[in-house]
Amino acid sequence: MGNQKSPKLLAKFLSYILGIRPDEFGLIPDKEGFIKIKDLIKAINEEEGWRHVRRAFIEEVFITISKPPVEIKGDNIRAANRENLLQMMPAVNPPNLLFTCVSEKSYPFVLEKGVFPTSHPDVILSPNKDMAERIGRRKGKSHILLNVNTMQAIDNGVFLHQSGELIYLAGFLPVGSFTGPLLPKQKPVIKKKKEADAKEKYKKQITAGTFELKIQNDDKKNEGKYKKGRESSWKRDKKRIRREKKQDWPE
């Protein structure tokens, strides 16, 4: 609680973010100056000393300050005074190199089809690599940084807009206008598992066949013993009959 900023200090901070330089925080106001509250909170929480801020803290500004510097409409928020807010405009002299991030999951598709908007109506780019990665981290921890050749993008029909000094917007980025790392090699985990299963199955088959053969061999041995026993018994009976006949024969 001791590290939390007062509502008055938070109000001043909100006035700067929403009314002067939202681009410094990777935020893009719409035509009426509104920004989603959840996006604003994410950006504020990235700043040292402001990680405690939640929607309740922003709403507290309205309770404790007679003339709050912000306006809330549903889930959106904007500055009450927007005289110093830089408006979105067509990019006149964009830098030669811009950066943007895509999710690691979508990267194979991006390399084949290009970059399309996801959470925002436009693809968000920045001349500042750190800013591009900051925006990318908001979508998820696993992201890929792309280098965008501005001239190649424009030559391929891309129309750029500028929102402040650090944010550029594009409807899409075609293949050939950006570069990125090679696709990571996929680990053949499933293949190894299949090979292991096949080996295990083969071992079971071999073991089963050996056991069956052993039983068959044991049966043959027992059969031989039985035949041999029968033969010996018959011979003994034959000798006994001969002896009895000799005894009964008169001399």
- 189-216 residue pLDDT tens: 555 565 666 667 656 665 655 544 454 5
State the total domains in the chain.
3
Residue where a domain terminates, one of 179, 213, 241:
179
Q: Are residues 94 and 71 in the same domain?
A: no
d(CA 78, CA 72): 7
pLDDT tens readout for residues 4-50: 778 999 999 999 999 999 999 999 999 999 999 999 999 999 999 99
Q: Judge whether residue 219 has pLDDT over 60.
A: no
At 140, is the pLDDT very low, low, confident or very high (cuts 50, 70, 90)?
Answer: confident
pLDDT for 72 beyond 80: yes
Residue 168 tokens read as 């550029």
Instruction: Clarify whether residues 65 and 101 are in a common domain.
Output: no
Q: Is it the case that residue 117 has pLDDT exceeding 60?
A: yes
Q: How far is the C-alpha of 127 from the C-alpha of 147, rounded, in Å?
A: 10
For 142-200, the pLDDT digits (tens) are 899 999 999 999 999 999 999 999 999 999 999 999 999 998 675 555 555 656 666 67
- What confidence score (pLDDT) does residue 119 get? 85
- On whether residue 84 sits in a domain, the answer given is no
Given 134, 149, 179, the domain boundary residue is 179
Same-domain status, 172 and 218 = no
- Weakest-pLDDT range from 1-10, 80-89, 122-131: 1-10
Determine the pLDDT at residue 215: 46
Residue 147: what pLDDT? Answer: 99
Rg (alpha carbons) of the chain, rounded to whole number: 42
2 within domain boundaries:
no
In terms of Cα–Cα distance, which of 11, 32, 12, 35 is closest to 23?
35
Which domain range does residue 138 map to? 89-179
Q: Which of 21-30, 34-43, 53-62, 219-228 has the lowest mean pLDDT?
A: 219-228
- One-letter amino acid for residue 134 of the chain: R
pLDDT at 211: 46
Q: Which of 134, 158, 179 is the last residue of a domain?
A: 179
| 138 found inside a domain | yes
Asked if 138 and 165 sit in the same domain, the reply is yes
Using DSSP bridges, classify how beta strands 123-125 and 97-103 pair: parallel, antiparallel or unpaired. Answer: unpaired
Q: Are 74 and 117 contained in the same domain? A: no
Q: Is residue 1 part of a domain?
A: no
* pTM as predicted: 0.71
Question: Rounded mean pLDDT of the chain?
Answer: 84
**232 is a domain residue:** yes
